[in-house]
Homo-oligomer: A and B are copies of this chain.
Amino acid sequence: MRNICMRVNYDGTHYHGFQTQPGGNTIQDHIENAIFSLTGERVKITASGRTDAGVHAYGQVFNFKTESRIPVHRWCLALNAWLPEDIILTDAKEVPLSFHARHMAKRKTYRYSINPNRFPDIFHRRTQFHHPTRLDIEAMRRALQLMVGTYDYTSFASTQSQKLNHVRTVYEAHIEVDHSFSRPGSDDQGIIHIYVTGGGFLQHMVRIMVGTLMDVGEGKKTPEDIPGILAAKNRTKAGPTAVAHGLMLWNVEYDENVQKT
């Protein structure tokens, strides 16, 4: 028996999220079917966490136990051959049998991308929220910093959240503006990428943080409103839930030693 840990990138556009569900067509289903095609084994994979329908991943991590003797360096190419082209495995390694991709994830980073310009960005529209409204990016930066820390994030959680404890830690968050597709001389604001790193996230937490930042960017809220929104522990005080397709699971980090065989 071996424990294999893999990294996967996916374009979530055409899938019903990561985790297996009755309707099928999830990332997990496709990967488990590819493993079956390759090895004849019916395994269950364990990811660092689920992603919602339409959300993308650049570096999702999962593990699974297998009896297969296929050398670890061959797993990616072999499984990619069985996967649709919008799901690509990029790394594989053998890890201790005790490794668990969800329980042992130390930090996760999400990226949310907003196109505030007049027209959709044709080459990136599937991974950007197109919201053609000029935004006050500096105000958004100040508001974002006020969301960093250890708080009860009830105001930033779906009311469907099943968790009893809504205290989470956001370690770091920042905004980068990409002008690589801005035409010189235009008043294009560029593409706004919001990165948020935390120890764990509540349902819709990043999307509600982004929806609130957009309210700040439009002047409907101010950075100074953020502490009060957190303190209220009331979902109705925060902004809307930003659309799923602007969100990407960007990175998952583990303690180095837990992944060493």
Q: List residues of A whose CB falls within 8 A of some B CB.
A: 9-11, 56, 58-59, 76, 80, 85-90, 118-120, 122-127, 178, 180-181, 183, 251
Contacts and interface: CB of A to CB of B under 8 A. Distances in A.
Contact of A86 (B10, B86, B122): B122
Given A59-B183, A88-B119, A88-B122, 4 more contacts: A9-B123, A10-B122, A90-B119, A123-B126
A119 B120 CA distance: 27
A122 B181 CA distance: 19
Nearest to A10: B122
A175 to B, nearest CB: 15
> Lowest 8 A-B CB distances belong to which pairs?
A9-B122, A90-B119, A88-B122, A88-B119, A11-B122, A123-B127, A88-B120, A86-B122
Q: Assembly of this chain: how many copies?
A: 2
Given A59-B183, A181-B58, A183-B59, A124 B123 contact: yes
Contacts of A120: 85, 88
Contacts of A9: 119, 122-123
Nearest to A56: B123
B85 A125 contact: yes
A19 to B, nearest CB: 19
Contacts of A125: 85
Nearest to A178: B180
Given A59-B183, A181-B58, A11 B123 contact: yes
9 contacts: A10-B122, A56-B123, A58-B181, A80-B119, A85-B125, A86-B122, A88-B120, A90-B119, A123-B124
A86 B59 CA distance: 27
Nearest to A59: B183
A123 B183 contact: no
A254 B118 CA distance: 24
A207 to B, nearest CB: 19
Contacts of A56: 123
A214 to B, nearest CB: 22
A119 B83 CA distance: 13
Contacts of A80: 119
Given A58-B181, A59-B183, A119 B76 contact: yes
Nearest to A117: B90
